[in-house]
Structure 1
Amino acid sequence: MTDNPTTPTYAALSVPPETGNGYPDAYARSSAARIKRKLGNHGGIGNFGVNHVTLPAGCQSALRHWHTRQDEFVMVLTGELVLQTDAGERVLRAGDCAAFPKGTGDGHALQNRSDAEATYLEIGDRTEGDEVDYSDIDMAVRWIDGAEYFVRRSDGSVIQKAE
């Protein structure tokens, strides 16, 4: 399949990849090699995000986190990933899905502990005012004067503006 400007069809791997994350430097390493293709944005979708994500061997999807207002859903396409939540760890393989309802306080992250690349589809809504808490570190994303910032959960002090 090739991109066709007259219809909303395109090949997932034709969407330009973005590597890394927007985390502060102290927390960026675990998912620095993550490759994300923003499929929904490429197709002009605004109400929800759809991403094709590639995790090289040894890479993590994100810091373990949860959203206050945003639901998330993932489906593993290739490879094997380890899902981490408050309940522990669970291996996910191609065809397995995981749903993360908003506001649960149960942080989640995917790790590729295998020797091979793994891919998954990530879908999330774009509810205004969503904030994020990181379960294992003193960091959160909060809105301050109309912009998103990484802050310390313990005292609200700003670490850096979120990208």
Structure 2
Amino acid sequence: MPDDQPCRPIALPAASAPPRTKPSNYPEPFFSRMAGREKRPLGDLFGLRNFGVNLTRLVPGGESALLHRHSRQDEFVYILEGEPTLVTDQGEVALSPGHCAGFPAGGVAHQLVNRTGRDVVYLEIGDRTPGDEGSYPHDDLQATLGPDGKWIFTHKDGQPY
């Protein structure tokens, strides 16, 4: 391995991966809504650049994200534990372990919420297509993926947070 490459694991138990240090990139008043979510960025541990994989836990009352859709990014979730509700702009679907759902770019707005008394654990997978934008039908928020790979959040009228 070249000296400039970080030492990365070949394999590890997913639950032992460190959680993300910052629970959300959203600005307030949305940041605090993500307090019931814990993400373990598995793909980053292995140096994956084309897509991300997170092991995500939602405590009772937790939300995966604000109701949103991506302009360029496809997303996929696979439920491992618990019974979340998939909320979309077309209705709601009860999920349980073994269920999966996919969201093509530009499609249905979506989020997972935990309305039960038990934790929900799932894998989320999304690509990292440059130029992606996020839209939020129920919130005064829009997001643009910057050239550095970080999200830039503004109000829907373009004013910064």
TM-score clears 0.5: yes
41, 45, 57: which one aligns with 1:42: 45
- Count residues in correspondence: 153
Ranges in structure 2 where 5+ consecutive residues have no aligned partner: 1-6
70, 74, 95: which one aligns with 1:71: 74
Letter in 1 for 2:130: E
Q: Aligned partners of 2:18 and 2:120: how far apart in 1?
A: 18
Question: Where does residue 149 of structure 1 map in the other structure?
Answer: 152
Query: Given the superposition, is the C-alpha separation of residues 7 and 31 from structure 1 closer, same or farther in structure 2, using an over 3 Å criterion?
Result: closer
Question: Where does residue 84 of structure 1 map in the other structure?
Answer: 87
Q: Aligned partners of 2:147 and 2:74: how far apart in 1?
A: 24
SS at match of 1:121: strand
Question: Where does residue 121 of structure 2 map in the other structure?
Answer: 119
134, 144, 153: which one aligns with 1:132: 134
Query: Given the superposition, is the C-alpha separation of residues 9 and 85 from structure 1 closer, same or farther in structure 2, using an over 3 Å criterion?
Result: same
The offset of 1:156, in angstroms, is 1.0
Q: Aligned partners of 2:33 and 2:95: how far apart in 1?
A: 19
When normalised by structure 2's length, the TM-score is 0.88
Whichever structure has more strand as a proportion of its residues is: 1
When normalised by structure 1's length, the TM-score is 0.87
The offset of 1:111, in angstroms, is 0.3
Deviation beyond 4 Å, 4+ runs, structure 1: 143-147
Which deviations, in whole Å up to 9, do the C-alpha atoms of 1:87-126 show, x marking residues without a partner? 111101000001000012x210000000010100000000
Superposition RMSD on alpha carbons, in Å? Answer: 1.9
Q: Aligned partners of 1:87 and 1:25: how far apart in 2?
A: 27
SS at match of 1:20: coil
Identity of aligned residues (%): 43
